[in-house]
Amino acid sequence: DGGITQSPKYLFRKEGQNVTLSCEQNLNHDAMYWYRQDPGQGLRLIYYSQIVNDFQKGDIAEGYSVSREKKESFPLTVTSAQKNPTAFYLCASSSPDFFSYNEQFFGPGTRLTVL
């Protein structure tokens, strides 16, 4: 089955720790995205990558870092500098061609809780 997987489903972090959220896709999509979701606020873009070895900051990148060493993988690290990391994190991918109209496909999400 083609799709996006995220792991773990639930993650608990102590204050001051860095944690890494995994995102893998087998849709052969060039572009990948990380979003943060808080209650009542919709989704906010953290980072995006249009191609391997390249990524750009989104609207709320402070306290986060990413890498894109492989087309299939786009891990997100939540660093200790992120002041309020408790949230639901969603990874997405898309094929930025004319016929896709920018449709993005989403993974099942990771819920991060800071203890």
The single residue among 1, 14, 83, 103 that binds other proteins, judged by CB under 8 A, is: 103
Of 19, 104, 112, 114, the one binding other proteins by CB under 8 A:
104
Amino acid type, 45: L
Q: How far apart are CA 14 and CA 49, in angstroms?
A: 28
> How do 110-114 and 10-13 pair as beta strands?
parallel
Q: Tell me whether residue 47 or residue 114 sits nearer to other proteins (CB atom).
A: 47
111: which strand partners? 10, 88
Contact residues: other proteins, CB under 8 A: 4, 6, 31, 40-45, 48, 50, 56, 88, 90, 92, 94, 96, 101-109, 111
